[in-house]
């Protein structure tokens, strides 16, 4: 997947559409929606969602090789090592995270049927707002590749609010 280009004021596109998305212009076009996003994210009453909830049923766990005990995911992440080739995978079957125990044994956490999207009320509202922003930008910028607009919007939605 394409990522934000080195120039923060543009996102480069795919063949067939405009070669560049004007990020500043897009920010102006969806400024009201971005303000709504900030308000949503600052509201303390909004339900939070994180990977912790996805893994809740997997802990506590013990390494089969050395019997080291991991009471929760936080402890697991602090006392294991990330694998060089990547350790977190989402696919249609679920979520898998693999890390190396201090003894060297690879421990894989597997949660089948996991939807990695934020299922909280806040997550649903953010997805609706994202889709509204995308539709507005596509209508006002038909020359831009929709995938590039999505990359830019993901950046806006993941930025600290």
> Contact at 8 Å (CB) between 11 and 152?
yes
Range scoring the smallest mean pLDDT among 4-8, 53-57, 84-88, 108-112: 4-8
Number of domains in the chain: 2
Domain that holds residue 99: 51-112
> Contact at 8 Å (CB) between 145 and 17?
yes
Q: Which ranges constitute the DSSP H helices of 66-142?
A: 73-78, 121-140
Residues 106 and 58 in one domain: yes
> Contact at 8 Å (CB) between 133 and 31?
no
Q: Give a yes or no: residue 8 inside a domain.
A: no
Indicate the pTM of the whole model.
0.50
Residues 154 and 124 in one domain: yes
- Give the mean pLDDT of the chain: 75
140-149 pLDDT, tens digit each: 888 888 888 9
The confidence band for 1, taking pLDDT boundaries of 50, 70 and 90, is very low
In eight-state DSSP terms, residue 67 is -
Residues 105 and 136 in one domain: no
pLDDT at residue 49 greater than cutoff 80? no
Residues 41 and 55 in one domain: no
Dihedral (CA of 108, 109, 112, 114) sign = negative
């Amino acid at each position: 997947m394409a990522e934000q280009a080195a120039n923060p004021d543009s996102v480069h596109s795919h063949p067939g559409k405009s070669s560049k998305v004007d990020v500043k212009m897009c920010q102006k076009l969806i400024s009201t929606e971005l303000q709504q996003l900030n308000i949503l994210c600052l509201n303390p009453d909004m339900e939070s969602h994180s990977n912790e909830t996805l893994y809740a049923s997997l802990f506590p766990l013990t390494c089969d090789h050395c019997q080291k005990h991991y009471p929760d995911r936080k402890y697991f992440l602090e006392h294991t090592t990330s694998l060089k080739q990547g350790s977190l995978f989402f696919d249609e079957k679920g979520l898998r995270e693999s890390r190396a125990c201090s003894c060297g044994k690879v421990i894989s956490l597997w949660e089948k049927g996991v939807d990695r999207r934020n299922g909280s009320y806040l997550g649903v509202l953010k997805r609706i707002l994202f889709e509204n922003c995308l539709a507005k930008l596509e209508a006002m910028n038909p020359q831009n590749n929709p995938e590039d607009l999505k990359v830019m919007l993901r950046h806006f939605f993941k930025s600290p609010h």
